Structure 1
Amino acid sequence: MCLARDRDSANPFRVATMRGKVKILDVLFQANPHAARARIIDLVLNKTKIDVNATNAIKQTAMDIHFLRQGTEPEGADRDIEDLLLKFHAKREKDTIDPKWITDQRNALIIVAVLLATIAFQAGVTPPGGV
């Protein structure tokens, strides 16, 4: 029942939170702590300026961690969290490209191309062994 939704897509945790029913929240949390997780994530993402695509020490985003945890949550809890992450444009690490990295790679490629063109020109103008 903790994961059920009404016609406005609100689960019991959300309704109890909106109405300030702390005792009901306590009972719901004891019955199913996983259902509260989506509500807490929603509050954090809405009330802070957290970068939902930030990576941890091993280059995982929130969406990567969510996909690793899938199947370990009760039915419906995975969907709630995934919906929230997608709402805030969360991406997996493999889908995020650092623009600075692309610029650095492009600059390195330009330097290599200029060096190769210079060597080719020099070899054409003054070939080895003379003319």
Structure 2
Amino acid sequence: MNVWKETGGACAADGHLTVDLDGGTADVWRQCADVLYASRERTSAEAEALAARTLLRYPGCLLTLVRYEGGGCWAAVRAADRTVTLPVPDASPRQCCACVASLLYPAVVRALSRHHARQGPATEPPDEPRRPC
């Protein structure tokens, strides 16, 4: 998904790689993903645990969404200190968590950018730098 926006002579783009954890995709794609989601339904407890574990396992991933029974999904955001639930309609198609993730990702990036801009420049590099793909 690419969203282009004219910004005073510069062109900014939101492009991110989204990968389904349940899709049989090679792990190399998961390692490069900005967003990981699970299309298979799980219990609420399993979904919450998988969302959090996924962020730990894939340090380059910023956002995970895992669908749970009853039509919702658990979201985990790397910059947050907790997971939050996002409502997904019961009659939604299987890939709805992927759509929610793709819509939520730019908002998360924007919020993190504003937060880091207010913080000023970092005094030390992060412990685990993101690896280029």
TM-score between both structures, scaled by the size of structure 2 = 0.25
Which protein has the larger Cα radius of gyration, Structure 1 or Structure 2? Answer: 1
Q: More helix per residue: 1 or 2?
A: 1
